[in-house]
Structure 1
Amino acid sequence: MSTGHGHLDASNKRIALLIAVLALFLALSETLGKNAQTGALSHNVDASNLWAFFQAKSIRQTVVRTAAEGMEVGRTSASPETAATIAATLERWNKNVGRWESEPETQEGRKEIALRAKAAETARDLSLARYHHYELASAAIQIAIVLASAAVVTGIAALIWFTGALGCIGLLFTALGLWAPHSLHLL
């Protein structure tokens, strides 16, 4: 409601302030949501790359083991000098296969790569859970802003109560996204 002089009355000033505060919270939830979305994508790419590296190591191990088995068969009929060369090659290949399985110092053995990929998947899932909370928060706050705007136009006080409730729900989802992103998934 406005007076004849173009000034807002006190209730409309409060609603305008409420809209400004809601817009601030909307900007916060949107920023957090975009950050969580970007994090989820980044962690998903990391996990995919690590699983591809894991598969490459597995293929490499299989090829070398298969070649070693073929060489082992030929070693029994080989001359002593050739058998010694084959044995040295087999020993070197077996060391490589063992190193490809676990290499704690470089974190590039299959076991370490699998752990890193699972950690990236966990980080991705956390980012996605946060993102979903922030999206719900943004939706609630956007609706609250629309209701507050409608309250200015219509003068219906009940809309302000709905605005406050939705604003609180939006803040709750923002807080859950920050501090307890998996809480609603447990219900």
Structure 2
Amino acid sequence: MSGGGFHVHGPHDHELEHAAESGHGTGGMIGRIAVITAIIATVGAIFAYMGGATQANAGLYKNNAAIKKTEAANQWAFYQAKSTKQSLAEFARDLAPDDKKAAYQGRMDRYDKEKSEIKTGAEKLEAEASAWDKSSDDQLHQHHRWAQATTVLQVSIALAAIALLTRKRWLEYGMFAMAAAGLAIGLLALLHI
């Protein structure tokens, strides 16, 4: 600016003002990347939360499976004890005088009936344990999907930062591509695929 209030623009001043006013050039790129990065970070935080929740569920379900397996093992031990008692009753029946054989046979029959009920209960507990294991595996698979989606979104945010620093348009496109990939993987997690 000269002393008499007369102002002379430099050759690039007009272009910079135009770019700032119209949102084209670096000004538009910066604003667009900033907004998209905020959106990606928000979605990434949601994905990270879902990943943590599914990981916790997988652990809880695995714990439930272990409890059911222990209960089933206890039932099988009870079954084995009844089998041993049945075998002892059979041995006693075979050695007993004829007037006592019927009592031992009654015990054997009772133990056989009890074993059948115990076996049914043990098999039911084993089925429940298997169902909990499957649920745990499903949750763990979903956790891995959420973690993959979160990681890809984090890479997208890193590309956004590099694009802002270098002002390279191809990095901005890379950011968009990675964000789309992260959203797609998140959709797979949501659909349990």
Shorter-normalised TM range: 0.7 to 0.9
Please give the secondary structure, in 2, of the residue aligned with 1:25: helix
State how 1:120-159 maps to structure 2 within 5 Å.
Answer: 120-159=132-171
Give 1:43 deviation, angstroms. Answer: 1.1
Give 1:39 deviation, angstroms. Answer: 1.1
| Partner residue, 1:11 | 29
AA partner of residue 173 (structure 1):
I
* 1:8-32, Cα deviation, whole Å (9 max, x unpaired): 9332111110011101110111011
Give 1:149 deviation, angstroms. Answer: 1.4
* 1:32-88, Cα deviation, whole Å (9 max, x unpaired): 101110111111111111112222211221121022112211113325664444333
Q: Which runs of 4+ in 1 moved over 6 A?
A: none
Identity %: 21
- TM-score relative to the length of structure 2: 0.81
| Partner residue, 1:57 | 75
| Partner residue, 1:184 | none
Give 1:158 deviation, angstroms. Answer: 1.1
AA partner of residue 174 (structure 1):
G
Do 2:89 and 2:107's aligned partners in 1 also have CA atoms closer than 8 Å?
no
AA partner of residue 136 (structure 1):
Q
State how 1:1-187 maps to structure 2 within 5 Å.
Answer: 9-79=27-97, 82-102=100-120, 109-181=121-193
Q: Which runs of 5+ in 2 are unaligned?
A: 1-18
AA partner of residue 159 (structure 1):
L
- TM-score relative to the length of structure 1: 0.83
* 1:152-172, Cα deviation, whole Å (9 max, x unpaired): 122111111111111111111
Larger Rg computed on CA atoms: 2
Please give the secondary structure, in 1, of the residue aligned with 2:96: coil
Size of the aligned set, in residue pairs, is: 171
| Partner residue, 1:105 | none
AA partner of residue 119 (structure 1):
A
Please identify, of 169-178 and 62-71, the stretch whose mean Cα deviation from structure 2 is larger: 62-71
Do 2:48 and 2:150's aligned partners in 1 also have CA atoms closer than 8 Å?
yes
